[in-house]
Amino acid sequence: MTLGFNTLAIHAGAEPDPATGARQVPIYQTTAYVFRDADHAAKLFNLQEVGYIYSRLTNPTVAALANRVAALEGGAGAVCCSSGHAAQIMALFPLMQPGTNVVASTKLYGGTIQQFNNTIRKFGWSAKLVDFDDPKAIAAAIDDNTRALFCETICNPGGAVSDLDAIARVANHHGLPLIVDNTTATPFLCRPIEHGATLVVHSATKYLTGNGTVTGGVVVDSGKFDWSASGKFPSLAAPEPAYHGLNFHAALGAMAFTFHSIAVGLRDLGMTMNPQGAHYTLMGIETLPLRMERHVQNAQEVAEWLEADPRVDFVTYPGLKSSPYHNLAKMIVPGGAGALFTFAVKGGYDACVKLVDHLKLFSHVANLGDTRSLVIHSASTTHRQLSDEQRAAAGASSNVVRLSIGIEDVRDIIADLDQALTAATA
């Protein structure tokens, strides 16, 4: 029986606990697991049998979350880790070698741009940032050392929508995996694998958990990419020296990436999600469809109100007919254009700062995807480390603020923005 999204959000990855009959997934707060005998232990370490060894690798609570997100995204498998940034490194880790590069969108969260521009260089990797609105620019940036393409479904902070189908065609033509950060859309609004993505990453900290309580990340594998076709991915399709010479793709097929991420990635990088964090996220996902409907409804109303206000220069919400991404949004996120966007305040940088300081209902935090409405001035915070040109390309210029619209009464959200705009533009 094929289950609907709402049903999967509650039931996927979860069965009544066999020991106690507990209906909710228990928090398995344990470091290690007793082997039945020496042969059982050997089979687990040889990946001949699926089971639990040590909670840096796998844990029943965390595994339930991985299975649920994989089901919601339509993937073959998933691995959970400690944060969204950890998920990005986990996604790249089996693909990259020193001297290789990833071609990524200029329209990314500022922390991701920083990670790609600077941090991954310490591994001998590099990134080329190009305009992903232009498939020809993507193709031109690809060279013999490129190992992946990377973009966001709905870009943070500006709300631009990526044409995943067109980007996937470029990736397929060059025999490369496409990695899509689906944090801001969630699988409720978009399932990137259906648009050609190979891997999907999430900051589970955001909408999946939905209440600002824990950090977490997830990487979902489509199971559809042929890692053996090109010879470019030896960690997955050649004897892996980090795991006694096992050829993961030959041995595990569609689950090669997922098992490599657990057996090598989590083992050696140690970016493990804790079971209590997984439990909070499982509970959050149960209400994901209900929350996303309200997030989108509120965001549409707020964006329309802001666009009509003379104190506002422009609004970037792709749900607006004025947005250059409006028609694309109907194809990529037909259920709604998310709840994250920016708007420009007349008066520039100083007016933006005043607006943030005068908001009362909105919380001024470096987060998004909460049930509460959130605000931040990206140019002075999340994108502060970027140049003016990089900030402009990412949609985080100094005259805009980023809103993450919550699920409060929309009248209260608008009233708060109204009084703050009055103070900011007086």
Nearest to residue 243, comparing CAs of 222, 223, 215, 262?
A: 262
339 occurs within a structural domain: yes
One domain, residues 292 and 278:
no
One domain, residues 222 and 88:
yes
Residue 335 to residue 157: CA distance in whole angstroms: 20
Helix ranges (H only) for 118-247 are 135-141, 164-173, 186-189, 234-237
The pLDDT score that the predictor gives to residue 299 is 98
Q: Encoding tokens for residue 380?
A: 């002075």
Q: What is the pLDDT along the chain (426 residues), one digit of tens a residue?
A: 789 999 999 999 988 888 888 899 999 999 999 999 999 999 999 999 999 999 999 999 999 999 999 999 999 999 999 999 999 999 999 999 999 999 999 999 988 999 999 999 999 999 999 999 999 999 999 999 999 999 999 999 889 999 999 999 999 999 999 999 999 999 999 999 999 999 999 999 999 999 999 999 999 999 999 999 999 999 999 999 999 999 999 999 999 999 999 999 999 999 999 999 999 999 999 999 999 999 999 999 999 999 999 999 999 999 999 999 999 999 999 999 999 999 999 988 889 999 999 999 999 998 999 999 999 987 776 656 667 777 666 666 788 999 999 999 999 999 999 999 999 998
Residue 113 to residue 393: CA distance in whole angstroms: 11
The pLDDT score that the predictor gives to residue 179 is 98
Order of strands across the sheet that contains 77-81: 77-81, 217-221, 199-203, 178-181, 146-152, 101-105, 126-130
100 occurs within a structural domain: no
One domain, residues 54 and 195:
yes
129 occurs within a structural domain: no
CATH code at position 350? 3.90.1150.10
One domain, residues 240 and 374:
no
How many distinct structural domains can be found in the chain?
A: 2
One domain, residues 81 and 204:
yes
Last-in-domain residue among 283, 298, 332: 283
Q: 34 is in which domain, residue-wise?
A: 5-95+177-283
134 occurs within a structural domain: no
One domain, residues 186 and 63:
yes
Q: Encoding tokens for residue 272?
A: 């493990």
CATH code at position 263? 3.40.640.10
135 occurs within a structural domain: no
Strand partners, 81: 217
Last-in-domain residue among 283, 299, 323: 283
In the block, tokens 């109204």 appear at 418
240 occurs within a structural domain: yes
114 occurs within a structural domain: no
Residue 73 to residue 187: CA distance in whole angstroms: 6
What pTM does this model have?
Answer: 0.95
One domain, residues 244 and 306:
no
One domain, residues 223 and 306:
no
Q: Encoding tokens for residue 255?
A: 């689950």
One domain, residues 197 and 60:
yes
One domain, residues 247 and 390:
no
One domain, residues 265 and 395:
no
Burial readout 175-191 (b: 16 or more C-beta within 10 A, e: otherwise)? ebbbbbbbbbbbbbbbb
Residue 198 to residue 192: CA distance in whole angstroms: 8
Last-in-domain residue among 264, 283, 302: 283
163 occurs within a structural domain: no
The DSSP result for 116-136, as a single string, is HHTGGGGGT-EEEEE-TT-HH
Given a contact cutoff of 8 angstroms between Cβ atoms, the answer to whether 260 and 266 are in contact is: no
One domain, residues 292 and 274:
no
